[in-house]
Amino acid sequence: MSADAPPPGYLAAEPGILAWFRTLDHKRIGLLYLFSITGFFMIGAAAAACMRVALLSPQGNLIVSDTYNRLFTLHGVVMIWFFLIPAVPNVLGNFVLPLAIGARDVAFPRLNLASWYIFMAGGALVLYAIAAGGVDTGWTFYTPYSSTYSNGHVMAMAAGVFIAGFSSIFTGLNFIVTIHRLRAPGLTWFRLPLFVWSLYATSIILVLATPILAITLFLMALERGLGVGVFDPKIGGDPLLFQHLFWFYSHPAVYVMILPGMGVVSELFACFARRRIFGYRVMACALLAIAALGFLVWGHHMFVSSQSLYAGLVFSLLSFLVSVPSAVKVFNWTATLHRGSIRLDTPMLYALGFVALFTIGGLTGLFLASLAVDVHVHGTYFIVAHFHYVMVGGMVMAYLGGIHYWWPKISGRLYPEWIARSSAVIIFLGFNLTFFPQFVLGYLGMPRRYAIYPPEFHTLNVCSTAGAAVLGLGYLLPLIYLPWSFFRGAPAGPNPWDATGLEWRTASPPPPHNFEETPVVTAEPYDYPPPP
């Protein structure tokens, strides 16, 4: 082995492409997910690009409304179920979790691989639905439109989402059992890194919420396929029940799309400020609190759906409560920076971007949780901007930050720092240019999901499309330099960031069985030297 090459590790353990499809190694399965969701991300991003280009003109010259409907449905379904939900848990979680708790693998490696195959089967059905002509219901599949009137490939799309749901459930199950059973000696619950806590909170949501989505889509499909549903108003059914069941899953699912990001960002703050996370225990409890409260706020998606005013009041109050643990997290991250020796490496840039954008996304969430304001902005671009600030500004930033942070561990090599920093800055600027105008558009009353809009909204839409182009460039750069560094980057060594955390105590890339010797934990996490 020459001095300028990292040790072969798990990447060279079993030769051949086929070995990757039979592997039980959590690290390889994490990479399988990385490849698959990057593909899905590109499909979803292409749909978004088409929409932004079409919105350059108010008259909708480029594509007809029906195509536009299919594009935003595609974008929503692919980005939510095939990128955001699996992004951090299935890629980074799979790769890092066993390493971070000093285990050889997850509790059920076979189930882990099966979960990837199930995910891909669901993905294949969704791709089929897209190729066959797409679906125009929006990602929410609201009845009775989806069950009775839509002429898209609703069944294939819903079946794809249904199947992919089982992949989520099995991953969640695997992580819960792994965290309970396979922690290294001395690694007590309050010594777990916050990323592990966030995966635990996420897994609980995945296991308890996803089955509701499955049964809801099943009942919808029953109605569409056999005409025997329970949501059909013709026979006394209540279409609103579909919305209740759907959001009972989908609101907690929103927290599946943010909690793991919070976990990643906590790791980044601690490492690049060289500080213990301020209020570590509170941070862990806040993750669980957000997960628990997430099950009680679904009605805030339905304020204008004719649900009872009193239900609306309760859901509004509960939604405000979510801001308490969320704000605790933001304050504690900020307090962690205080008197830290901060290094602005790429992961830290992403982490800072996360906090800035998540804060905006979170605060505008309070507007939407207020009954009266929600009536004004419901169904407008305001809400589009709000959830993109949390999902893209929050989760995608955290995901990219995590990918850069653990990249030396994944590949054994360093990525080029300067170009990576520039791409982080480009993404931050492009993101704001894309989505900030949408807050204004929404507040001025531009409804979402239309290909045609009044000419007075033209300027802001052009800004947004220009921002999307910048954002696209920012996303393209890592797609080029990360694969390049995989083969050509400088060897990273076991711990290039000088970070705490068990995953940094083994070689980069790690050997197939992770640790030469099971690590023993004697201290709390983030045990960085005290500031001078």
Partner 1 sequence: MTSSSASATSSAREAEQSVTNRLGLWVFLATEVLFFGGMFVAYVIYRHTYPEAFRAGARLMEFGLGTTNTAVLLVSSFFMALGDRAARAGDRRQLRRCLLCVATLGVVFLGIKAVEYHSKFADHLVPGPDFSGTRGPLEIFMTLYFAMTGLHALHMLFGLGAISWLLWRNAGGRPVPVEPVAMVGLYWHFVDCVWIFLYPLFYLPGR
Contacting positions for partner 1 (CB under 8 A): 107-108, 111, 169, 172-174, 176-177, 180-182, 207-212, 214-216, 218-219, 222, 226-230, 234-238, 241, 245, 248
**14 or 232: CB nearest partner 1:** 232
**110 or 281: CB nearest partner 1:** 110
Q: How far is the CB of 380 from partner 1 (least distance, A)?
A: 30
- Distance, in Å, from the CA atom of 162 to the CA atom of 169, rounded to the nearest integer, reads 11
**111 or 292: CB nearest partner 1:** 111
Q: How far is the CB of 109 from partner 1 (least distance, A)?
A: 12
**179 or 287: CB nearest partner 1:** 179
**218 or 450: CB nearest partner 1:** 218
> For residue 399, with 0-12 CB atoms within 10 Å meaning exposed, 13-18 middle and 19 or more buried, which class applies?
buried
**52 or 244: CB nearest partner 1:** 244
Say if residue 7 is preceded by a cis peptide, omega within 30 of 0.
no
Classify 227 as helix, strand or coil. Answer: coil
**216 or 500: CB nearest partner 1:** 216
Which residues are CB-neighbours of 30 under 8 A, at least 6 positions away?
Answer: 90, 91, 92, 93, 94, 95, 96, 410
Name the phi and psi angles at 251, rounded to 5: -70, -50
DSSP string, 99-136: HHTT-SS-S-HHHHHHHHHHHHHHHHHHHHHHHTT---
Q: How far is the CB of 218 from partner 1 (least distance, A)?
A: 8
Two structure tokens written together for 231: 């949501």
Q: How far is the CB of 214 from partner 1 (least distance, A)?
A: 6
Cβ atoms within 10 Å of 75's Cβ, excluding its own: 20
Cβ atoms within 10 Å of 448's Cβ, excluding its own: 17
Q: How far is the CB of 243 from partner 1 (least distance, A)?
A: 13
Terminal CA-CA length for the chain: 40
**180 or 449: CB nearest partner 1:** 180
Amino acid at 530: P
Q: How far is the CB of 208 from partner 1 (least distance, A)?
A: 5
- From residue 153, how far is each of 66, 74, 146, 393 by CA, in Å? 13, 11, 10, 31
Q: How far is the CB of 296 from partner 1 (least distance, A)?
A: 15
Q: How far is the CB of 394 from partner 1 (least distance, A)?
A: 26
**72 or 248: CB nearest partner 1:** 248
- Distance, in Å, from the CA atom of 309 to the CA atom of 300, rounded to the nearest integer, reads 11
**161 or 176: CB nearest partner 1:** 176
Q: How far is the CB of 200 from partner 1 (least distance, A)?
A: 12
**11 or 118: CB nearest partner 1:** 118
- Report which DSSP code applies to 412: S
Which residues are CB-neighbours of 248 under 8 A, at least 6 positions away?
Answer: 209, 212, 295, 298
Q: How far is the CB of 238 from partner 1 (least distance, A)?
A: 7
Angle of helix 309-337 relative to helix 259-273, nearest 10 degrees? Answer: 20
- Helix, strand, coil share (%) of the chain residues, nearest 5: 70, 0, 30
Cβ atoms within 10 Å of 478's Cβ, excluding its own: 22
Q: How far is the CB of 166 from partner 1 (least distance, A)?
A: 9
DSSP string, 241-297: HHHHHHHHHHHHHHHHTTHHHHHHHHHHHHHHHTSPPTTHHHHHHHHHHHHHHGGG-
